Amino acid sequence: MTASLIAGLSGIAMTDDERRFYRDVQPAGVILFARNVADRDQLKRLVDEARDAVGRQDFLVLIDQEGGRVQRLRPPIARSLPPAAVYAALYAQDPERAIRAAFAVARLTGEELRAFGITMNCAPVADLPVDGSHEIISDRAYGSTVAEVVALAEAVAEGYLASGVVPVVKHIPGHGRATADSHLSLPVVSTSRQTLSETDFAPFKALAGLPAAMTAHVVYSTIDAANPASTSAIVTREIIRGEIGFDNLLMSDDLSMKALSGPMRARAEAVIAAGSDLALHCNGDLDEMRAAAEGVPALEGRAAERFAAACSCISRIEPYHKEEALQLLAGLQGQQTPAV
């Protein structure tokens, strides 16, 4: 049975212990980071190793390849990508061109990811930053209004879908107002629910049809003062599944982030109990991964259906004009057309 877990790896090749873990636990997927990448051939081998260890077709290979600060694959292994803020700046001048560029670059990037066997990208960011918020989002956001964030994030998601890569919209129901970095501490947002509904939650509501989403390690004190969204059944039920209307595959943000506390098994149990379909563990610590695996159930019922629906997107690959896409990317970068 597939476990409700996405796990990491420690380095550029699987250890024997990691291979046994993946074989025995059968996680839903693996997530890759820069520490897992040395060169193109090595990356392909590592992905193949992980797939061989689990021996399943429905095994997702994830990465964070947003662009800008957050891209695990960089030249010469993969193209350099602009941050979301570049699209936002173009949108202010030429919305149609910005939307075309967002789609085209995502389509290019998806093709690149698929060449390595990567099938899910933790992007786009649909968070809406506000004045005074922490810089953890800043240039990762596609603008400062709901309309531009929705238009550009949707184009990015469609670009990935057209390349057979599953987009994971994040950080639902919204990280843009947080005044702390959830990698380091637990942000608390005390804004009224009405304001949150009109701003932070609105992009995710407009994007609720996307196949996958990642939760935010943020406390919304006017909704549930005791728990961050990732471990809050109230936020998941009333906001994410309810008001926002997102009924597709839901995964937590990284269990090993410092916004969460307590033993790793308890963290995994908490995100699943709150309503996430998958628990995400990223840092590659095998002991922590084993503990997280003990805290998650087999993927079944509605969660299994959502997982299968997300996996079905991988078979969707549509033709596109690659040269035009490369020209749009070059325009964003302010340089000559990059090499194919």
Report the catalytic residues.
Answer: 183, 253
- Spell out the long-range contacts of 298-302 with Cβ–Cβ below 8 A and sequence spacing 24 or more: 298/1, 298/2, 298/3, 298/4, 299/1, 299/2, 299/3, 299/4, 299/28, 300/1
- Structure token digits, residue 199: 């701003």
Alpha carbon separation from 116 to 99, 122, 270, 275, 323 (Å, rounded): 26, 16, 33, 31, 21
Residue 272 burial (CB count, 10 A) = 20
User: For residue 144, which of 191, 208, 219, 87 has the smallest C-alpha distance?
Assistant: 87
For every residue of 91-143, DSSP letters joined together read HHH-HHHHHHHHHHHHHHHHHHHHHTT--EE---B-----TT--TTTGGGSS-
| Greatest extent of the chain over all pairs of C-alpha atoms, in Å | 53
194 contact partners, CB below 8 Å, separation of at least 6:
none
Q: Alpha-carbon distance 220 to 114, whole Å?
A: 37
Beta bridge partners of residue 228, listed in sequence order = 219
Q: Alpha-carbon distance 122 to 65, whole Å?
A: 7
Q: Alpha-carbon distance 112 to 163, whole Å?
A: 9
At residue 336, the 3 state secondary structure works out as: coil
Beta bridge partners of residue 63, listed in sequence order = 32, 121
Q: Alpha-carbon distance 6 to 102, whole Å?
A: 27
Look up residue 132 and give its amino acid: G
- Structure token digits, residue 308: 């299968």
